[in-house]
Amino acid sequence: MLNEYSVGDSRDLLKQVDSSSVDLVYIDPPYCTGRDFYHFDDRFKSSEDYRELLMRPILTECHRILSDVGNIVVHVEPKVSHHIRILLDDIFGEKRFKNEIVWVSGGNHKSKKQLQRNHDTIIVYQKGKESIYNPEHKEYDAETVRKAKMCPYRKKKYNTSALVNRQPNVVSRPNLRYEWNGNHLQWHVSRERMEMLHNDNRLEYSPNTGIPRVKKYLDEMDGIPIKDVWTDIKQIQGIEKLDYATQKPVALLNRIVKMFSNKGSTILDPCAGSGTVGRSAILTDRNYILFDLNEDGKALFNKSLVGLVPLDKVSQPMLNPLENLLY
């Protein structure tokens, strides 16, 4: 199954995957819309049938196959996100919730009876106490650079961040509560670390209170950290667009894959559609396992690889990114 697109019912195919063998499950399941799409039927008798007959068996198997540091990413619309959260809390545990990401996709879901929806919900849970997470960053925009201060000593631009812990009851660590520059407060760093920052001229003191903030030089950081509202990735356009109703942009999957798995990891998508997860896995130096009921999805996936991946490599582990992949 490794680096293959298998056609069949995911509830059955998942049982053939070894336990704890996958680092990331990405699933963009049916949304219980009541519509009969060309590629799949999204009609269920009730939301309970959707939740218990389709999603529970799939998510239960996904929990089994995930490694101890694995993550599951479920991409849904707000209409069914609460059903998915209930199931994930039940199967993974409430404490394994990691993130809820809002992807502002810029869609045109117009309605005269309610607010226009232009976002999807992406829910992330982890299997164990620790899980894979690789922070992603965006390049600094012109406004961030303009607003940054200039250090007169280093001749470099910087921003500052707080050193005072405004929620001291959350973390009760006695070594983080001490007096500094006339302020006896709970800090984010130890006294030893504070002294090192001071000696390295990395503290900026308030002229009114004397409370320091730490300088963070732009050229020493990776950029602006990606947070949980994504507005910079739009819907599919141009050459990337395939004839598949629910296709997601590879830029979106690349971000998810890089954040929540490592190079060499295996990623599984039990509702693979046109195979965007597979293309992203190839680009980011991962392996993939794809399942879907639809033969058309597999055909589109294979078509998207023609001329881009040697045919004798398609069904073998791919551990080298393909720089010329267009999708």
Residues 164, 67 share a domain? no
Work out how many domains the chain is built from and give that number: 2
> Domain boundary at 204, 220, 236, which?
220
**Which residues is 133 bridged to in the sheet?**
none
> Would you give per-residue pLDDT tens digits along the chain (327 residues)?
899 999 999 999 999 999 999 999 999 987 655 455 455 555 666 777 777 888 899 999 999 999 999 999 999 988 888 999 999 999 999 999 999 999 998 766 667 787 888 889 999 999 999 999 999 998 888 888 899 999 888 889 999 999 998 875 655 678 899 999 999 999 999 999 999 999 999 999 999 999 999 999 999 888 888 999 999 998 887 777 777 777 889 999 999 999 999 999 999 999 998 999 999 999 899 999 999 988 888 998 988 886 554 334 445 444 333 333 433
Q: Which two tokens stand for residue 99?
A: 């993130």
Q: Residue 265: which domain range?
A: 4-136+226-313
Residues 154, 27 share a domain? no
> Domain boundary at 162, 193, 220, which?
220
Q: Which two tokens stand for residue 307?
A: 């001329």
Residues 252, 119 share a domain? yes
Q: Enter the pTM of the model.
A: 0.80
Q: Would 167 be classed as within a structural domain? A: yes
Distance CA 33, CA 13 (A): 25
Q: Would 323 be classed as within a structural domain? A: no
A 10 A CB-CB count for 71 gives 28
User: How buried is residue 250: exposed, middle or buried, by Cβ count under 10 Å (0-12/13-18/19+)?
Assistant: buried
